[in-house]
Each structure stands twice: as C-alpha cells, then as structure tokens.
Structure 1
Amino acid sequence: MTLLDHAVIWHVYPLGATGAPTRDWGEEAHAHRLPRLIDWLDYVVELGCDTLLLAPIFDSVSHGYDTLDHYRIDPRLGDEADFDRLIAECRSRGISVLLDGVFNHVAATHPMVAGGGPVKRDGDGNPVGWEGHGDLVELDHSDPRTVDFVAEIMEYWLARGIAGWRLDVAYAVPTDFWAQVTDRVRATYPDAVFLGEIIHGDYLGLIHDGHLDTVTQYELWKGIWSAIQNVNFWELDHALGRHNEFVQGGFMQTFVGNHDTDRIASVVGDAGAAVAAMLLFTLPGVPSIYYGDEQAFRGEKGEGFSTDDDLRPTLPDTPAGLAPEGEWMHALYRQLIGMRRRHPWLTRARVEVTDKQNEHISYTVTDGEHRCEVTVTLQPEVTAQIRFDDGEDATFTW
C-alpha cells in the first residue's frame, strides 16, 4: 500500500494563504509567514485530510512559479527553520507533505541562466522563454546536468521530511526525463510520491513512461463542472467512461478546483458545488481539496497581472476567523470525507453509469467485493443519494 491508497489532499497556495505580496516587493516583505499554516493543521485533520500539498515555497521573483533558488525558502515565507517546524508539526499529526516542484522552467534572472547552466538556448545562444513568457526560461531536459539538478533538489527536500513532489507542467517535459529522475530518486527514497500536472494528452503514458505515481485528472474536473452548469449529465457520462479507463492504469488525482481554476462555487453556485463535492468523494481516484472550496469560497480568474489573485486568497490567522456562511459546506465536506475514509477501496475502484438524462445520473462504483450506488438529480430540485452495500447511506437536498 502506498500513500496514494488512502490520501485525501488539502492543497494550499502558501504565498496567497499567508498574505505574502507577489508583486513589487522588497526586503521589507521578508517575514516568517510559513508557520501561520501550523494553526491550520488541526483543521486539516478534523476535515479528514492526511496530506498537505503546498504550492511553491522556494525563493522566486513573484508568484512562486518563477524560481530563483530551489534550495532556499522564499524569504516572504520565512526560512528553513520555519519549514522544519512546519514539517515537524505535520508529522506529529500524521500529515504527509508534498511540495510543488517547478522543473520545466526557471526565472529569467535565475543565476544559471547567465552562468551557462542547462537552459534551452536558440541558435544565437539566447535563452528560450517558456510559452512566450519572457520572464521564464526553459530548462534543457536533454542536458545530463538537468537530471542532476532536479534529482539533487528532490533528494534534498525528501531528506528534510517531505513525502513527494507535484511536478508543475509535467506534460511539457519529456517523459524519459521524468523516468531518469524518478528512478534515481527512488533508489534512495523508494516511497517518494510523484504527481504530474497534465491538462490534455496521454495521462497513462505520462504515468507509465515517466514512472510517475499519479496525474491531475483535468478531464473529469471539466466534465463535473460543465455537466452541472449546463444541466447535461451526458458530458459527465463521457468523462466517467474515460476516467474508468484511466483509473485501471494508475492513480488519478481528482479535484473540483485548484490554484489555476475558477472556484467551483463561482461557476455552479452553492448547490452545484455541493453536488461536485459529492461526486468528488464517491468516484475513484485520489481526491484533492483546494483550500477554501470546503468553505464555499468564491473566486474567478481576472485579467492582467492580478489574474489569479482571487483564486489564491489570504486565510484568517486561524480557522476561528472563517466566515460562518461557509460552515454548511464545511460540514458537508467533513461528512463526505468521513464516508470516504470508511470506504478506502473507492480509490482504486471502477465506475459504471447505469442511467442518465440531461438532469439526472446514476452510477455504481465497485471493486469486486464492495459496491456503492449514487444518484444525482439537478431538476426540479437538486438531490443526491449514496448507498453502500455495508448499509451506510446518505440523502441530500440542496
């Protein structure tokens, strides 16, 4: 059994959650903000999660995905002592920690760019920007030095107590590169977990050829919110057919929101967000909760430099500061996660749609020994029913 067999992930964006500035900041912005997350760890456990996924925490220019030094905690968050304290507090509560590794590109001002490091260069020797972003430079994944560079970073933080890595834009990196790196790292850390980000493409190819453990299941995310928003469960039926194929070949990280997407409650409303949560925790996969979705947070992508600010909000100092309006969703998440905890077989199960109309869907989830039946209706009222073969059941009306 691996971590992913039982993981329920709480995904947080530390720079935003702790109130760190992301633009035009100087030394006056340096602060020990990372320990603020410690006051949220009991909340994470009480929610039912056992894994904390941290968006970038390394020294960077602005938003964290423009790294300057992979061995240094971003000074806006603190230092390594703060990190060690957070890891120790997580360990004492049985929480595993995954870090977000940006290994496709670095900031254009990263020392290796001017210092002859392994970055892509054009015919004139100029650094190659990533997808038109002049402030980001692609690493050269055909250069053996890049394997050393990435593997050594991974091993350094694994030695400091993390359980594994989320691999940012893993789809943009050759799969054989990931295979080289993960094989090397697992020689020392055989239980390390590797989660690859992929939006469109060959999900199972990235897992199998890249020797990863799981990938982001964006197809299911799209199928869930679109089916609810458009009252058209035929799209979800298609996505579940694909999902069924994927989960037979590997773990799938499932989610209804993350740091790059509009908040689910902003897209489909409160009742729709409740349905999305119910789907998330009754379908096969490794469920991941983006911080605040369990409180019905709102947020939509904007335009310009602040495009993602609303998606990455500051948390109160402690959970006691949360608005009471979100408690009903929090209670629902706790109920659904508790149900998930009592039926861990769901992670590797199969799903089959047994009935569907535009406004209605029924499906069964089985693993050969266990069975769960789910029915969701969006009109004339929003209802859901869950029945397990061990007698546990729940009915909801929103």
Structure 2
Amino acid sequence: MKRQLLLTSAVLAALTAGCSPAQAPADKEAEMKQKKQQAETVSSQPQRPMVYQMLTRLYGNTNTNNKPWGTIEENGVGKFSDISDAALESIKELGTTHVWYTGVPHHAVIRDYTDYGISLDDPDVVKGRAGSPYAVKDYYNVNPDLAEDPAKRLQEFEALIERTHKHGLKVVMDIVPNHVARRYESVSAPEGVEDFGVSDDTSVEYARDNNFYYIPGESFKVPDGINPLGGHTHPLEDGQFAENPAKWTGNGARKAQPDAGDWYETVKINFGVKPDGSYDFPKLPADFAHKGCDEHLAFWADKDLPDSWGKFKDIALYWTNKGVDGFRYDMAQMVPVEFWSYLNCSVKAVNPDAFLLSEIYIPEQYRDYIYLGKMDYLYDKVGTYDAVRAIVEGKADTDILPQTFDNIADIHSHMLMFLENHDEQRIASPAFAGDPDKARPAMVVSATAHSGTNMIYFGQEVGEPGEGDAGFGDPTRTTIFDYWGVPAHQRFMNGGAFDGGQSTPEELALRDFYQRLMTVATNEPAFAGEFADLHQDNRQNPGYAGNLYAFARINGDDKVVVVANFDSERARQFSLSIPQGVVSAMGLTNGRYQTYDLLGESEGNDLSVQQGIGQLDINLAPLESVVLKVSQ
C-alpha cells in the first residue's frame, strides 16, 4: 500500500464496522435544509490547536502615520491593554485556541527607559527603531514599550495572561535559547539568578560552563555598511560598541567584526557544543526516542550539565509558573536536541499540557526533535509551505503535493502549517500572490491535509499586503523592527471595536472565509484522523486534469472529502473517483450517501458507491474549494 494512504489495517477494520447507506430525503427543499443544519453543527470542542500569531507591539496600534524610522511619538505603538476583551473575542471567532504574543520578552530598544533602571541600548547593535524581538535583553521581564506604565510592565502582561485565559484562549510566548542581545542585563531576575556571562572565563574561546563563545585578544567591531536609525542622530550612535573580547555572533559568525547580514545584534549561547562541533555533555541513547518525559528527566537527573541548560530551564519555568501555556522556540535547530529533551520535559513536569513549538528547517532532523527533543510541533516550512506557495505562484502544479505529504506521513500530527508569519512575505504582497484570494485553495489544503496545528498571522485574515518602507528591512513583510501601523488590520480594529467597521467589503469577505475555514479545521473530528490522497487516482481523469487537489480525512464515523481548485480562471466540473481502499476505510458499502460542504460555499452532492468504488460530482468556481462531510 502506498504511504499516501495513511490508514493502518487496524484503522480499516474499525472503520468498516456497521455502516450503511443513508437515504436522501425525497423533498429537495427539506434536503437542503437538513444539509444546512448539518453544516452548522460542527463540533464546538477543538480537536486540535489553532494558533493566532500577533506582533504584540503592532497589533493594537491605531496610529496611521507610518513615517520611516518613526519614533513611538510619531508612529505609535500597541500596548498590552489594547488587546482588549473585544480583541480577544475577535481572535477566538477565527477558531483560535492559542495566541502567540510575539515580542513580549524585554529585548533591546532605542527608547530611553533609564528612569526605570534600564540601561540605554546602543543603536549600533540594535536593528530598527524598535529593535528585534529576538535580541532579548532581560528574560525576567517584558518589553517596556508594551506597557502603559513601564514600572508595572510585568503586572500588565500578567493581566493580559489572565484576560486571555478568561476568553478560553491559551498564551504562547517566545524563548530564544540560541542567542541573546549583544548586551544582556536583567534588572528583574529573581534573587540568586546570575546573568548570562557573568562567571565566564573570557580568556578562552570555549569552556563548557561559559555562557558565550569568545574571540580572545580581539574587540568587537560594528559591521561595515549598516545605517543605524536610518541616519537619525542618537547620543550612542558612533559606529562603535564596547565588547572586549568579542563574542561569537548569534548566527554562529566567529569574526570580531561580523558582516552586515549576520545577526550582529545578538551573541550566540554556548550549550556545551565545542567549536569543532563535538559535545561536552552526554548524548541520549537512541532508544530514548520511545521513552516518555519521566524517563528523560531521570536520565538527566544525575548528570553534570552545562550552565546554560539550567539558566534556560529556570527562564521557561518562571514563565510557566506565571500562567504562560507554551513556548515558540526561535531557531531551535541551532541548539542540540539533548538540551530540548531536558528543557521540554522540565516544562511538561510542571504543565503536562504545555504547547511546545519549534522553528526548524532541516527535515532530516524533524524526527529527532519530536521524539528525542520532545517537541509537540515543528514548522512545516520546508515542505507544505514551500509547495503550496509554489503552486500559488505558478512555479509548480499540484502533482508535487502527494510526495510533499508522503514525506511527513509518519509525523503529520506534529507539524504546524502556515502561509504567513513574521518571517515570511505577506500573501497579498506582489512578491507572493499579489492577491489574498489567490491563496484560498492553498489555505484550505494547508489547514486540512494534516492532523497537527494551524497558524495565521494577524492581518492575514483581512489581506494585509505588508506595504510601506518602515525603516529597517524591506516591504512585503510587516516590519518586526520598527514602530508601524498595519493598515488592513487597523481598519478591522476600527478604533478598538474590533468589528471590521472600517474594513472594505473584500476584507470582510476574506475574514469570513478564514473564520469558516479555521473553525472547521480546528473543530471537525475528521481532521484529527487519517489522511488518504485522492489525487493520484484521479490524475488520468480528463475532467480532473489541471491544478486540482483532492484527499479524504477519516476519523471513526467522521469522514470528509476535500477538493481545491488552484486555478484562478477556470471553473471545474467533473466526477471525482474514490478508490476501493478509501471507500472501505470510510466504512461505506454500495449505495448513495449525502455530503454537505462544511465551508458553506457549495450545496454538496451525493456520493455514489458502486462495486466498492465511489463517485462524487464536483463543481468548483475558480479558486473555490469544498470540504464535503459524508453523512452516515
């Protein structure tokens, strides 16, 4: 059996028991009424997570000035308090279960907060006017920009955690073990907690318990070719930054003067990996891939481990104990998998339901990070994202999808699917689709072809194109480095009402699509079950030929057929063939079965089964998809 059909013999046996054809009502009007009622009764209980990512400093900003390199006074900034009850309800309406608050930990910024005991940051090693969310300066507090009262910034974030929970949503925040800001200074660390690097032996490049790597005998030099603050003056902007000896840069650059394209605003953390790549800590035995967290923690309990391991465990547990429900780990692939076993199992010991998400782009390492590193979910960027984007852009056709999904057949329940995040170009930007509607079929396939988790990025649901030169970086991605307003999102915000009062009809229609799709993708039980490719069996069907993709999802009595038309110009009308193995897995015998579209965009047609093979008439407009639930 091909791996595209991810159905085991045990599942087949369970699914084929006790299913008989349904009788369609004789009266067409009654039939349609019944289908409408069925479409409205998708389970209200989430079957799998759905993440809504926001760049917290931009989300609540109502200022529309958008001056390049603008200050807070000129361009404004969103606050924790802007994420109101109305905002959270609008997020929940999208089928969301988890909110990823990006940019919460206190990172290096340009603004003067010395009145609050915070040292000035040097713009020569800060990207943008607002700073990179991934150059964390103090892991025991939050970004003062986000607070109404910077002196009470931690309390304001704690209030947001409580407010988020009140709306039935869970809180995810970033932890970035691979690197920290060039000057890390925690003014909020609990008593007895030592800052990174304080006890380092700086006379050597590497020592196991050093938190950083060093370049002895050389001082750090600011990269050539950078233009801090876009040429605006600042008391500390002088092309110099005091760091002696120089440290390795966050992306692993080992020069005292990194390149302008390096992560020069950060320094790399040492987890006991020697400069030659060998490990200065015990390796997990291979059979620990099959063991649980209790056994992992027992393995580490008597081991002498590098100092950085304990520091990051303390940070993760600090936030876990404040009610944070999970973490998104930046560039997890640059940190050894053994550390993740230690950290993630430590978190799970406190919160067994913690949501742990890893940014990783090396498919060969996926299974190690899941089974040895105990990650719940990994980015499916090098795979599903790249494939569906190529189809949307006309660089590939849907024939690439069966192999794409086959590559993750055994781990699809651990993958996070997305079409936008803070690192990727906006769908509506000319550099991607240029039109958010062109990605509708891609979003349907991405959201429903797996059993893991989905994510949308704020503004995606209203077609934000990411236009405008904010300062550091280029348009097409909404800035993460500068103060900025996000126009399409601001129109939906409507001054804090979060009701779409200023949105265009096209933006409201797109949000409605996302709301219907993501609610179904989150709550429909079939999407927590098995996947069966239908594309390969229909490729020779003349009516099917072209940029179509079809598959089935099966979970006990719940079964769904998904068909997406990626063609932006051609309507499609054809009979979809469902092979005998899939029909059997669905538990169907010869007869006719009603289907109804969970997206509510189609009336649905009867599925006919004859001699064990199914036929389902499909009629799709350009860029239209159907998610057809099969009735018993």
- TM norm. shorter chain > 0.5: yes
- Match for residue 335 of structure 1? 516
Q: Would the alpha carbon gap of residues 141 and 390 (structure 1) be closer, same or farther in structure 2, given more than 3 Å must change?
A: farther
> Where do residues 342-357 of structure 1 align in structure 2 (5 Å cutoff)?
342-354=523-535, 355-356=538-539, 357=545
The whole-number CA distance in structure 2 between the counterparts of 1:239 and 1:301 is 34
2:426 is equivalent to residue 263 of structure 1: yes
Tell whether the 8 Å contact from 1:376 to 1:383 is kept in structure 2 after alignment.
no
1:233-277, CA deviations, whole angstroms, 9 ceiling, x for partnerless residues? Answer: 122232122232331xx4211111111001123322233221122
Larger Rg computed on CA atoms: 2
2:388 is equivalent to residue 305 of structure 1: no
The whole-number CA distance in structure 2 between the counterparts of 1:160 and 1:265 is 37
Shift of 1:391: 3.5
Tell whether the 8 Å contact from 2:529 to 2:553 is kept in structure 1 after alignment.
no
Shift of 1:32: 7.6
Q: Would the alpha carbon gap of residues 359 and 133 (structure 1) be closer, same or farther in structure 2, given more than 3 Å must change?
A: same
Tell whether the 8 Å contact from 1:98 to 1:162 is kept in structure 2 after alignment.
yes
Q: Would the alpha carbon gap of residues 145 and 232 (structure 1) be closer, same or farther in structure 2, given more than 3 Å must change?
A: same
2:57 is equivalent to residue 15 of structure 1: yes
> Where do residues 276-295 of structure 1 align in structure 2 (5 Å cutoff)?
276-284=442-450, 285-295=452-462
- Of 135, 141, 152, the residue aligned with 2:314 is 152
2:341 is equivalent to residue 179 of structure 1: yes
2:552 is equivalent to residue 364 of structure 1: yes
Tell whether the 8 Å contact from 1:227 to 1:236 is kept in structure 2 after alignment.
no
Tell whether the 8 Å contact from 1:366 to 1:372 is kept in structure 2 after alignment.
yes
- Match for residue 441 of structure 2? 275
Instruction: Normalising by structure 1, report the TM-score.
Output: 0.88
- Match for residue 25 of structure 2? none
Shift of 1:300: 6.7
* Matched letter for residue 109 of structure 1: R
Tell whether the 8 Å contact from 1:273 to 1:296 is kept in structure 2 after alignment.
no
Shift of 1:367: 3.6
* Matched letter for residue 440 of structure 2: A
Q: Would the alpha carbon gap of residues 220 and 194 (structure 1) be closer, same or farther in structure 2, given more than 3 Å must change?
A: same
1:202-228, CA deviations, whole angstroms, 9 ceiling, x for partnerless residues? Answer: 222211121111111111111111112
1:78-134, CA deviations, whole angstroms, 9 ceiling, x for partnerless residues? Answer: 111211221111111100111111111001111346634543314526311022322
- Match for residue 81 of structure 2? 35
- Of 323, 327, 351, the residue aligned with 2:503 is 323
Tell whether the 8 Å contact from 2:525 to 2:555 is kept in structure 1 after alignment.
no
Q: Would the alpha carbon gap of residues 87 and 377 (structure 1) be closer, same or farther in structure 2, given more than 3 Å must change?
A: same
After TM superposition, the structure 1 stretch with the greater mean CA deviation from structure 2, 312-321 or 41-50, is 312-321
Q: Would the alpha carbon gap of residues 83 and 126 (structure 1) be closer, same or farther in structure 2, given more than 3 Å must change?
A: same
2:166 is equivalent to residue 92 of structure 1: yes
The whole-number CA distance in structure 1 between the counterparts of 2:388 and 2:468 is 19
* Matched letter for residue 353 of structure 2: D
2:366 is equivalent to residue 246 of structure 1: no
Tell whether the 8 Å contact from 1:244 to 1:351 is kept in structure 2 after alignment.
no
The whole-number CA distance in structure 1 between the counterparts of 2:418 and 2:573 is 19
Indicate the structure with greater helix content: 1
1:38-69, CA deviations, whole angstroms, 9 ceiling, x for partnerless residues? Answer: 24101011222121111121111112110000
After TM superposition, the structure 1 stretch with the greater mean CA deviation from structure 2, 40-49 or 121-130, is 121-130
Q: Is the partner of 1:130 in helix, strand or coil?
A: coil
2:172 is equivalent to residue 126 of structure 1: no
* Matched letter for residue 88 of structure 1: E
The root-mean-square deviation of aligned C-alpha atoms, in Å, is 3.3
Q: Would the alpha carbon gap of residues 210 and 377 (structure 1) be closer, same or farther in structure 2, given more than 3 Å must change?
A: same
Shift of 1:305: 2.0
- Match for residue 381 of structure 1? 570
Q: Would the alpha carbon gap of residues 26 and 43 (structure 1) be closer, same or farther in structure 2, given more than 3 Å must change?
A: closer
* Matched letter for residue 167 of structure 1: Y
- Match for residue 176 of structure 2? 102
Shift of 1:166: 0.6
The whole-number CA distance in structure 2 between the counterparts of 1:292 and 1:26 is 21
Shift of 1:184: 2.1
Shift of 1:26: 8.7
- Match for residue 610 of structure 2? none
Tell whether the 8 Å contact from 2:441 to 2:565 is kept in structure 1 after alignment.
no
Q: Would the alpha carbon gap of residues 342 and 165 (structure 1) be closer, same or farther in structure 2, given more than 3 Å must change?
A: closer
Tell whether the 8 Å contact from 1:195 to 1:213 is kept in structure 2 after alignment.
yes
Instruction: Normalising by structure 2, report the TM-score.
Output: 0.57
The whole-number CA distance in structure 1 between the counterparts of 2:507 and 2:77 is 29
Q: Is the partner of 1:206 in helix, strand or coil?
A: helix
Q: Would the alpha carbon gap of residues 26 and 214 (structure 1) be closer, same or farther in structure 2, given more than 3 Å must change?
A: same
- Match for residue 112 of structure 2? none
* Matched letter for residue 133 of structure 1: W
Q: Is the partner of 1:278 in helix, strand or coil?
A: helix
2:359 is equivalent to residue 197 of structure 1: yes
Shift of 1:311: 1.8
The whole-number CA distance in structure 2 between the counterparts of 1:371 and 1:234 is 24
The whole-number CA distance in structure 1 between the counterparts of 2:102 and 2:463 is 20
Indicate the structure with greater strand content: 1
Shift of 1:34: 1.3
* Matched letter for residue 272 of structure 1: K
The whole-number CA distance in structure 2 between the counterparts of 1:96 and 1:152 is 21
Structure 1 residues without counterparts, runs of 5 or longer: none
The whole-number CA distance in structure 1 between the counterparts of 2:548 and 2:77 is 51
Shift of 1:304: 7.6
Q: How many residues align?
A: 394
The whole-number CA distance in structure 1 between the counterparts of 2:170 and 2:428 is 28
Q: Would the alpha carbon gap of residues 89 and 174 (structure 1) be closer, same or farther in structure 2, given more than 3 Å must change?
A: same
Shift of 1:341: 4.1
Structure 2 residues without counterparts, runs of 5 or longer: 1-44, 109-130, 148-152, 186-194, 201-209, 217-244, 252-261, 273-304, 480-484, 540-544, 579-585, 587-592, 603-619, 624-632
Tell whether the 8 Å contact from 2:426 to 2:476 is kept in structure 1 after alignment.
no
After TM superposition, the structure 1 stretch with the greater mean CA deviation from structure 2, 198-207 or 324-333, is 198-207
* Matched letter for residue 307 of structure 1: D
The whole-number CA distance in structure 2 between the counterparts of 1:51 and 1:18 is 18
Q: Would the alpha carbon gap of residues 251 and 135 (structure 1) be closer, same or farther in structure 2, given more than 3 Å must change?
A: same
- Match for residue 22 of structure 2? none
- Of 315, 323, 327, the residue aligned with 1:161 is 323
Asked which structure has the greater RCO (Cα within 8 Å, sep 6+), the reply is: 2
The whole-number CA distance in structure 1 between the counterparts of 2:410 and 2:376 is 16
1:316-368, CA deviations, whole angstroms, 9 ceiling, x for partnerless residues? Answer: 34323552231111111122123224413413432424334542222222345
Shift of 1:374: 1.8
